[in-house]
Amino acid sequence: MNAKKLLMPMFALALGTAVAAQAQDTGVRAAAQDSAGQGVTINVVNNNWLAMRVYVDVGSVRYRLGTVNGLGRQTLKVPASAVSNGNDIRLVAVPFAQRSATYTRVMLVYPGDELEYRIESRLALSNLFRL
């Protein structure tokens, strides 16, 4: 009888701890999935007269993000799968009908980040920064 009285509170404590740990783990996982599904938003401001094709280099893979018209603005998204746990990226802008391209510096990004890429009239002056 005494053994049952002693085991009952211990069992309740163990069960409560397991339930709390499961709830916390589920919350952490849900938060990670929410941010992982976002990808990275890039606001491109093209101050060049030429339309630009914009790419992102993630490791050795290049993704085409889209096109920005001359003297225009466009919001582009890096796929969530490309920056799932935080990756180094570099943006590339290629003017239509030209062979030259401009590359940004490498930047570490995480899902949910927002960046601004300014493409200037002189491509060498283009820059990327975090908002």
CATH number, domain of 91, equals 2.60.40
pLDDT of residue 24: 52
Instruction: Give yes or no: residues 70 and 11 share one domain.
Output: no
User: Is residue 76 located within the same domain as residue 96?
Assistant: yes
Length of the chain: 131
Whether residues 60 and 75 fall in one domain: yes
1 with 51, same domain? no
Query: So what's the pLDDT on residue 86?
Result: 87
Tally of domains within the chain: 2
Q: What is the pLDDT of residue 104?
A: 96
pTM across the whole model? 0.71
Tell me what pLDDT residue 97 has.
Answer: 86
List the domain range (segments joined by +) for residue 119.
Answer: 40-130
53 and 11 within one domain:
no
Residues 47 and 27 in one domain: no
Residues 59 and 75 in one domain: yes
Alpha helices in 37-131 (DSSP H): none
**Tell me, what's the pLDDT at 42?**
98
Specify whether 16 is located in the same domain as 44. no
Question: So what's the pLDDT on residue 85?
Answer: 85
User: What stretches in the chain show pLDDT beneath 50?
Assistant: 25-26, 28, 36
SS3 81: helix
Task: Compute how many other C-beta atoms are within 10 angstroms of the C-beta atom of residue 65.
Answer: 21
Phi, psi of 110 (to 5 degrees): -125, 160
Instruction: Verify that 32 and 53 share a domain, yes or no.
Output: no
Q: Is 71 left (phi over 0), alpha (psi -120 to 50) or beta?
A: left
**Alpha-carbon dihedral 57, 39, 112, 55, rounded to 10 degrees:** 30
Cα separation, 72 vs 46, whole angstroms: 5
